[in-house]
Amino acid sequence: MASVRPQTEVGTTLREWRERRRLTQLDLALEAGVSARHLSFVETGRSRPGRDKLRRIMRHLDVPFREQNRLLLAAGHAPVFPERSLDDSDLAPVHEALGLVLARHDPYPAVVVDRHWNLVAANSALLALTEGAHIDPDLLKPPINVLRLGLHPRGLAPLMVNLSEWRAHFRDRLERQVETMGDESLQALLEEIGSYPDSENERDPDFVRAESSVLGPLKVRAPDGNELSLLGMFATFDTPFEVTSSELAIELLFPADRATGNALQNLARNRRRKQ
């Protein structure tokens, strides 16, 4: 019985990933180059997949590195992808690349997050936008969750002019992540954000109609009182080689109009004068 349990766990988990990807057993079998009969036996725990075959199946299911390691261990195989701290010397190129992007993106805001939207790093332009904000100290306890901090009514939400639209946008993004990743922590974060009290706009019946329109730029109030209009770009490493780098993403914000670009340039000059 002890040997059946890991095989059943592997099979059940593979089936869950297959169903998230909306593939039939036949679809996956054809893509991964295995027989549908063997795949069925693996999913029901009647057959133990070999290391190479399991890796091939997981690759076609686009299973994250962390989960691939866990499934390999459950199947009795050694994990493939190393996991290191971002401060590890082996990840120096990753650390340097992130630092370069953050520094070169100044005077425009940028932030690096992990798979759960926890803060990894941010540039001075982003930190400057939060100056003077009345933030609940509990929201600043590590790990700082960027979505919680940004959307919580005792966080940065009061600075967002079009909070309703962007909170709905990030809820949609989280819903897609939960649907494709099955991550319980992301599900909990999604439920938490959904519990935040509605803004005045969201209580307006017209908001339902506006919510279906094209999402416009993010509008925030800067410390000097100016209203900034920002466009976002989300980037990840195209060729990660271990778990940590595969789970990092960087959000880059750009001015959506000339006035915002000028305002961000002025804020940067003021920061340099104070240094």
Within-domain flag for 80: no
Asked if 8 and 125 sit in the same domain, the reply is: no
Within-domain flag for 79: no
For 24-58, give the DSSP string: -HHHHHHHHT--HHHHHHHHTTSSPPPHHHHHHHH
Asked if 69 and 97 sit in the same domain, the reply is: no
Asked if 128 and 253 sit in the same domain, the reply is: yes
Last residue of a domain, one of 74, 106, 122: 74
The amino acid that residue 226 corresponds to is N
Degrees (nearest 5) of the Cα angle 84, 70, 41? Answer: 155
Within-domain flag for 82: no
pTM of the model: 0.88
Asked if 129 and 258 sit in the same domain, the reply is: yes
Cα–Cα distance between 120 and 145 in angstroms, integer? 10
Within-domain flag for 83: no
Question: Is 248:236 a contact under the CB 8 Å cutoff?
Answer: yes
Asked if 69 and 114 sit in the same domain, the reply is: no
Cα–Cα distance between 264 and 258 in angstroms, integer? 10
CATH of the domain at 175: 3.30.450.180
Cα–Cα distance between 203 and 100 in angstroms, integer? 43
Indicate the SS3 state at residue 254.
Answer: strand
Cα–Cα distance between 59 and 21 in angstroms, integer? 12
Within-domain flag for 265: yes
Asked if 152 and 240 sit in the same domain, the reply is: yes
Q: Could you report the average pLDDT of every consecutive run of 10 residues in the chain (275 residues)?
A: 61 96 97 95 93 96 96 95 95 96 97 98 95 94 97 96 94 95 95 86 48 77 93 93 96 97 94 83
Asked if 54 and 128 sit in the same domain, the reply is: no
Within-domain flag for 158: yes
Question: Is 106:127 a contact under the CB 8 Å cutoff?
Answer: no
pLDDT at 200: 57
Phi-psi region of 31 (alpha: psi -120 to 50; beta: other; left: phi over 0): alpha
Asked if 263 and 137 sit in the same domain, the reply is: yes
Within-domain flag for 186: yes
Asked if 19 and 120 sit in the same domain, the reply is: no
Within-domain flag for 108: yes
Asked if 54 and 109 sit in the same domain, the reply is: no
pLDDT at 192: 97
Last residue of a domain, one of 48, 74, 100: 74
CATH of the domain at 43: 1.10.260.40
Asked if 140 and 186 sit in the same domain, the reply is: yes
Indicate the SS3 state at residue 118.
Answer: strand
Asked if 172 and 63 sit in the same domain, the reply is: no
Q: Please give the tally of structural domains in the chain.
A: 2
pLDDT at 271: 86
For 99, other C-beta atoms within 10 Å of its C-beta total: 13
pLDDT at 208: 46
In 3D space, the residue among 170, 265, 159 whose CA is nearest the CA of residue 221 turns out to be: 159
Last residue of a domain, one of 25, 46, 74: 74
Angstrom distances, CA of residue 254 to CA of 16, 105, 201, 232, 234: 38, 9, 25, 6, 11
Domain of residue 149, residue span: 89-274
